[in-house]
Amino acid sequence: MIRLQDITKVYPMGKRELTVLGGVNLHIEKGELVAIMGPSGSGKTTLLNLIGCLDKPTSGSYYLEDREVSRLSRGELARVRGQKVGFVFQTFNLLPRLSALANVELGLRYSGGGDSRRALEALAWVGLSDRANHRPTELSGGEQQRVAIARALVKKPPLILADEPTGNLDSRSGEEIISILTSLHAEQGITLLVVTHDTNIARHCQRIIHLKDGQVEAEEKI
Amino acid sequence: MKKWFEPLSTAWVGVVTHKLRSFLTILGIVIGVGAVITLMSVGKGAQAQILSNIQSMGSNLITISPGAFTSGGVRTAAGATRTLTIEDAEAIAEQVPYISAVAPSYSSSLQLVVGGKNTNSQVTGVNLEYMQVHNLEIANGAFFSDYDYQSGAKVAVLGTNVKETLFVDADPIGQQMRMGSIIVRVIGVLESKGAGFGSPDDAILIPLTAMQQTVAQPRTAQGGRIVSSIALTVSDEKQSDYVVEQITSLLRTRHQLTPNAGDDFRIQSMEEIASTLTQATGTMTLLLGAIAAISLLVGGIGVMNIMLVSVLERTREIGIRKALGARERDIWIQFLIEAAFLTLAGGIIGVVVGWVVSYIISSMGLMTTLVTADIVILAVSVSVGIGLFFGFYPAWNASRLNPIEALRSE
C-alpha cells in the first residue's frame, strides 16, 4: 500500500538547511493499522503530510498503491488526495459556517462527487444522524471529531491519516474516537495511519513506528 | 451542476454571514452602476427628444442657405452673403426631379405694435408651400390663399407663443397689428409643436409678396430677388442624395461659379442635421457614462480589497479544501464566482437604483430620460466583468496557498 524509500525532507532556513526527515524507509501493507510515535520535532507530522500527498519529499521515492507519486505535479497530487486519502486532524478543521452534513458533503466535493445520502450514511456510521443540521460550534469536541471522521470516510478512500486525533479531547471522548477509528479499520478494511502521543491509541494498533530526529528508530509489532 | 452550485451556495453563506461587509463592498458597484444607468438615460433621453423633434419637422426636408464664398482669396462668413433668390427657387422647382414642394423665405426683424404692446420680432415672408414643406397645421383661422399671395395681401399667421405674447387670451383672428410701416390683419394661428429645435411656435408668417412691399427686399446685381433660405421636400427620400447633387450643379451654373470656386450656398438635408445632432448627444452620453464608469472602477477596487481580506481570513478553509483534494483551479473558480456573485448583485441593485433615479428625474420634468435594454445589459455584464477582473488576483492568491501552511494558520 505505502512504500517509502530513502525519503528526505529538507527545509531551507535562511542560509542554513533544516533536515526534518533524513532517509526514511517504510513499508505499510494494505489494511494495516499503524501508529507513528515520537517526541516533538521528530518529523511525525512532516512524514504524515508526505504520505498524504500534501507535500513532496526533497529526495527519495514514494509509492502509493504501486504508483510513484513523489514527482507528481501539484494538480495531480490534489487528485490523489481527493481519491485516495482521508485526513483527520487534531483541531478537527471543520468549516464553522457549514452544518455537520454540509461539512461531510465537502468530503465528496473534490473526489468525483456523490450525493447527500452518502454523507448521511457516513454521519450515521459515526452515530451523529441526529446532529446533521448542527453547526460545529453547537457540537462537543468529540462530536466535531466524529464529523471530521465521517468527512474523511465518506468518499471511501483506501487510506486514512490521523494526526493526533485525540490530542484536543478529554479522555472519555478520546476513547470514543479510538473505538470509532479501530472499528473503521476492522469493519471497512481501510488502511489507517495514526500519529499520536497517546499510548492508549498505540495499544490498539498492529504496529508502532518510533520516529526520532527524522529517522525510524524502532518498529514494534503488537 | 453541483460543481457550480457549491461555490454559489458558499458565496451566499459568506454574504449572509458578513451582511454589513457585503453591503459596503457592493455599495461601490451599486453607486457606479446606478450612476451609469442614470447618466446614460439622460443622454439617451436628450437624443430621443432631438430625433422626435426632427421627425416632426419632416425627415425629407432639405434646406439651402447662402454660404461662404471665396472672392479674390477673401472668404466671407457663412450667411453674410445674399446669393439665393426667388428665381433660384423657381428654377429648382422646375428643373430638379423628385421635389414635392419648394418654399423660399425671407426673414427680417420688424417692430410689431398691438394695442399698447410694442415688440421687435423676426417676421418671415413665405409662399403657399411653406406649410407643406415644414409640416405645419393651422390651429385656428386660415392660412393665406393663392389670391392673398398673388396680390400681396397684408395678412399674417402667428405661432402660438407669439399669439400668447401679443394677444394673451383674446381671439387674434381679424385683429390688426402694425408691422414696421404697414398694417396687417391676423388670419390664422399655427398649431403648437412644443418647444425644441426649430419650433414654429415663435414664427410670424406673412406672404413673401407682402414682405417685398414692406421692407425693401434687396436684389442681386442681376436683379434677382434675394431670399434668406430655400426649404424643400423630396417626394422620395431615397433620392435625397441625387436631389442634393442636382441642386448643387443647377445653382453653381445659375451663380456662374468657376469650376475651382467653392459653393456660395450650403445644402443640408434633415438626415444630415439629425446625424450631426445625434453624434453630438452621443458623444455627451458617452462622456457622462465614462465619468460614471470611474466610480465603477473605484467600486471594483473595493471588491478586490475585500476579496483579499476574505482570502486571508479563510486561509484555513482553503487548506482544508486542498487537503480534501481541491485543485488550484477549484479554489480559483470558487473565489472568482464569489467575487462575480457580489458584483452581479451590486449590478442588479444598481440597475434598479439607476432606473428609479432616472424615473424621478423625468417625472419631475427636469429632463427626458430613457433607460434602454442595451444600457441595462451593458451595466450588468460590466459589473460581472469587474468582479472577474478584480477577483482574479485574490482568487489566484488563494489558489496558490501552500496547503500545509494554510492548515496551520489561525
Cβ-based contacts of B322 with chain A (< 8 Å): 54, 78, 81
Cβ-based contacts of B330 with chain A (< 8 Å): 110
Phi, psi (deg, nearest 5) at residue B243: -65, -45
Picking from B6, B14, B403, the nearest residue to A109 by CB comes out as B6
| CB pair distance less than 8 Å for B325 and A111 | yes
Measure in Å the smallest separation between the Cα of B398 and chain A Cα atoms.
14
% of chain A surpassing 90 pLDDT: 68
pLDDT tens per residue, chain B (410 residues)? 556 677 788 888 878 888 898 898 899 999 999 998 998 888 888 888 887 777 776 678 888 988 765 555 555 554 445 678 888 888 998 888 888 899 999 888 888 888 888 888 889 999 999 988 888 888 888 898 999 888 888 999 998 888 888 888 888 898 888 888 888 999 999 988 766 556 788 889 999 988 887 776 677 766 778 888 899 988 887 888 888 889 999 988 888 888 888 888 888 887 777 788 888 888 888 888 888 888 888 989 999 999 999 999 999 999 999 999 999 999 999 999 999 999 999 999 999 999 999 999 988 877 888 888 888 898 899 999 999 999 999 999 999 999 999 998 87
CATH number of A29-56+72-221: 3.40.50.300
Interval A200-209: pLDDT, tens: 888 889 999 9
Chain B positions contacting chain A at CB under 8 Å are 2, 6, 13-14, 17, 316-317, 319-330, 403-404, 407
SS (H, E, C) chain A: CEEEEEEEEEEEECCEEEEEEEEEEEEECCCCEEEEECCCCCCHHHHHHHHCCCCCCCEEEEEECCEECCCCCHHHHHHHHHHHEEEECCCCCCCCCCCHHHHHHHHHHCCCCCCHHHHHHHHHHCCCHHHCCCCHHHCCHHHHHHHHHHHHHCCCCCEEEEECCCCCCCHHHHHHHHHHHHHHHHHHCCEEEEECCCHHHHHHCCEEEEEECCEEEEEEEC
Cβ-based contacts of A110 with chain B (< 8 Å): 321, 324-327, 330
* Whole-number pLDDT of residue B54: 74
Interval A177-187: pLDDT, tens: 999 999 888 88
Picking from A75, A79, A93, the nearest residue to B320 by CB comes out as A93
| CB pair distance less than 8 Å for A110 and B407 | no
Picking from A52, A78, A89, the nearest residue to B326 by CB comes out as A78
CA dist list (Å): A2 to A61, A70, A72, B66, B222: 11, 12, 16, 98, 113
| pTM, entire model | 0.71
Nearest CA in chain B to A92: B320
Question: Of A48, A50, A52, which Cα lies nearest the Cα of A60?
Answer: A50
* Whole-number pLDDT of residue B197: 56
Cβ-based contacts of A52 with chain B (< 8 Å): 323
| CB pair distance less than 8 Å for B14 and A97 | yes
CA distance B359 to B292: 18
Picking from B13, B17, B326, the nearest residue to A110 by CB comes out as B326
Cβ-based contacts of B333 with chain A (< 8 Å): none
Question: Of A162, A97, A165, A104, which Cα lies nearest the Cα of A136?
Answer: A97
DSSP-derived pairing of the beta strands B61-66 and B265-269 = antiparallel
Cβ-based contacts of A81 with chain B (< 8 Å): 322-325
* Whole-number pLDDT of residue B241: 84
Cβ-based contacts of B8 with chain A (< 8 Å): none
Cα four-point dihedral sign B18, B24, B29, B34: positive
Best A53, A109, A154 member to test B by mutation, with max B CBs in 10 Å, is: A109
| CB pair distance less than 8 Å for B326 and A95 | no
Nearest CA in chain A to B318: A95
Picking from A49, A82, A97, the nearest residue to B324 by CB comes out as A82
Interval A155-178: pLDDT, tens: 999 999 999 999 889 989 999 999
* Whole-number pLDDT of residue B304: 92
| CB pair distance less than 8 Å for A107 and B407 | no
CA distance A136 to A151: 13
CA distance A188 to B211: 111
Cβ-based contacts of A93 with chain B (< 8 Å): 316, 319-320, 323, 407
The answer to whether A47 and A24 have CB atoms below 8 angstroms apart is yes
Measure in Å the smallest separation between the Cα of B329 and chain A Cα atoms.
9
| Domain boundaries defined on chain A | 29-56+72-221
Nearest CA in chain B to A114: B2
B111: helix, coil or strand? strand
Best B2, B324, B332, B334 member to test A by mutation, with max A CBs in 10 Å, is: B324
Q: Count A/B contacts: CB-CB distance under 8 Å.
A: 61
pLDDT tens per residue, chain A (222 residues)? 899 999 999 988 888 888 999 999 999 999 999 999 999 889 999 999 999 999 999 999 999 998 999 889 999 999 999 999 999 999 999 999 889 999 999 999 888 777 788 999 999 999 999 999 999 999 999 999 999 999 999 999 999 999 999 988 998 999 999 999 998 888 888 999 999 988 888 888 999 999 999 999 998 887
| CB pair distance less than 8 Å for A78 and B321 | no
| CB pair distance less than 8 Å for A81 and B13 | no
* Whole-number pLDDT of residue B269: 82
* Whole-number pLDDT of residue A64: 93
- The DSSP H or E segment spanning B285 is helix B270-313
Picking from A79, A85, A97, the nearest residue to B13 by CB comes out as A97
